């Protein structure tokens, strides 16, 4: 019996050792992946490079290069129409960002720091509704709703545009804040409660500092989405309330000009700076 056990346990000479585990699925090893990836990057970033290049072209033509010049940026800075549209866009985007981020933070806390119940998926769907419905549908519905309010009250003004931006920015701010809350360890909050801290003190001293990266990310998304919106702004904005994207579209109907290239390049630079700033801030906070 012992000899049989010994014979079984002893490895046979010349037998190959067990092969290591095979590598998992790697999309980069699929045929043609590199080609498709480079084509996508080319289609995405090549137009931006052309835009930036011809924004510093001295020639008024947007297809013929002559020499380097900052003249179109100077004209953009001195253009009163662009100045008014930029100030209006920043005003709307900042207010919408602040209000939407505050509402999104409260909604994220209410949907993550609670026991699961049957209607919770419905709540998620209601909060994320602007992401699921086509923007043109939301814009037309908002226009009709605000028209009824204006007819009943006679009140007009910029508040309607700010309110519309705030509402559709909420889900964009909600997503990263909720994701941050779901990834946070509850141990510290539970320890704070065990030490007889009030819920508000626990939020202020424990939850809020840990939640700041998600709040910054949500605020960044809300600001950029509001600053970049066209469809809702085009339908909801009243007379004299042209945001910068609406102004650019109005000018492009007359043809692409170097001034529009310069404005778009500034827009692109601001977006890159904002994303970089919030990314570095979030990393440092983490």
**pLDDT tens digits for 172-219?**
999 989 988 888 877 888 888 888 888 888 888 888 888 888 898 889
For residue 182, give both structure tokens: 């779901």
Q: What percent of the chain has pLDDT over 90?
A: 16
Q: 122 phi and psi, to 5 degrees?
A: -65, -40
Q: Name the CA radius of gyration of the chain, rounded.
A: 28
pLDDT of 33 higher than 60: yes
Residue 134 confidence (pLDDT): 87
Residue 282 confidence (pLDDT): 63
Residue 206 confidence (pLDDT): 85
Fold of 80-285: MetI-like fold (1.10.3720)
Can you tell me the distance from the alpha carbon of 181 to that of 210, in angstroms, rounded to the nearest whole number? 9
Q: 119 phi and psi, to 5 degrees?
A: -90, 5
pLDDT of 165 higher than 90: yes
Residue 286 confidence (pLDDT): 56
Residue 1 confidence (pLDDT): 44
Q: Could you tell me the CA-to-CA distances from 147 to 94, 140, 246 in Å, in that order?
A: 25, 10, 20
CB < 8 Å & 24+ apart, contacts of 264-270: 264/51, 264/55, 265/51, 265/52, 265/55, 266/73, 266/76, 268/48, 268/51, 268/52
* Confidence bin at 92 (pLDDT 50/70/90): very high
Find the mean pLDDT for residues 38-65.
86
Burial of 229-263, coded b for 16+ CB within 10 Å and e otherwise, reads bebbbbbbbeeebbbbbbbbeebeeeeebbbbbbb
State the residue for tokens 């065990």: 194
- Using DSSP's 3-state secondary structure scheme, residue 262 falls into helix
Can you tell me the distance from the alpha carbon of 261 to that of 177, in angstroms, rounded to the nearest whole number? 35
pLDDT of 4 higher than 50: no
16 versus 91: which is more confidently predicted?
A: 91
* Confidence bin at 166 (pLDDT 50/70/90): very high
Can you tell me the distance from the alpha carbon of 169 to that of 130, in angstroms, rounded to the nearest whole number? 8
Among the ranges given (39-43, 50-54, 113-117), the one the predictor scored with the smallest mean pLDDT: 113-117
Domain ranges of the chain: 28-69, 80-285
**pLDDT tens digits for 94-118?**
999 999 999 999 999 888 887 777 8
Q: Is the dihedral of CA 241, 159, 138, 147 positive or negative?
A: negative
pLDDT of 52 higher than 70: yes
Q: Tell me the whole-structure pTM to 2 decimals.
A: 0.78
Residue 106 confidence (pLDDT): 92
Residue 93 confidence (pLDDT): 93
148 versus 27: which is more confidently predicted?
A: 148
For residue 281, give both structure tokens: 């801030």
Find the mean pLDDT for residues 84-88.
90
Q: Tell me the average pLDDT of the chain.
A: 82
């Amino acid at each position: 019996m012992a000899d049989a056990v010994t014979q079984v346990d002893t490895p046979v000479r010349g037998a190959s050792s067990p092969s290591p585990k095979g590598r998992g699925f790697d999309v980069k090893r699929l045929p043609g992946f590199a080609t498709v990836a480079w084509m996508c990057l080319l289609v995405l970033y090549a137009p931006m490079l052309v835009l930036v290049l011809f924004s510093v072209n001295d020639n008024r033509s947007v297809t013929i290069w002559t020499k380097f010049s900052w003249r179109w940026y100077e004209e953009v800075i001195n253009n009163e129409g662009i100045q008014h549209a930029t100030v209006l866009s920043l005003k709307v985007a900042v207010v919408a960002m602040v209000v939407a981020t505050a509402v999104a933070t409260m909604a994220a806390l209410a949907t993550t720091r609670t026991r699961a119940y049957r209607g919770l998926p419905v709540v998620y769907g209601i909060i994320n509704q602007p992401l699921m419905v086509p923007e043109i549908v939301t814009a037309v519905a908002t226009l009709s709703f605000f028209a009824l309010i204006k007819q009943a009250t006679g009140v007009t003004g910029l508040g309607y545009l700010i309110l519309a931006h705030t509402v559709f920015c909420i889900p964009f701010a909600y997503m990263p804040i909720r994701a941050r809350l779901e990834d946070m360890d509850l141990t510290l909050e539970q320890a704070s409660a065990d030490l007889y801290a009030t819920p508000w003190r626990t939020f202020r001293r424990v939850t809020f500092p840990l939640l700041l990266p998600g709040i910054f990310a949500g605020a960044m998304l809300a600001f950029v989405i509001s600053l970049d919106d066209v469809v809702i702004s085009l339908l909801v904005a009243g007379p004299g309330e042209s945001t910068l994207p609406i102004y650019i579209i109005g000018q492009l109907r007359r043809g692409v000009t170097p001034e529009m290239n310069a404005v778009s390049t500034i827009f692109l630079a601001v977006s890159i700076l904002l994303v970089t700033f919030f990314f570095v801030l979030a990393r440092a906070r983490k």
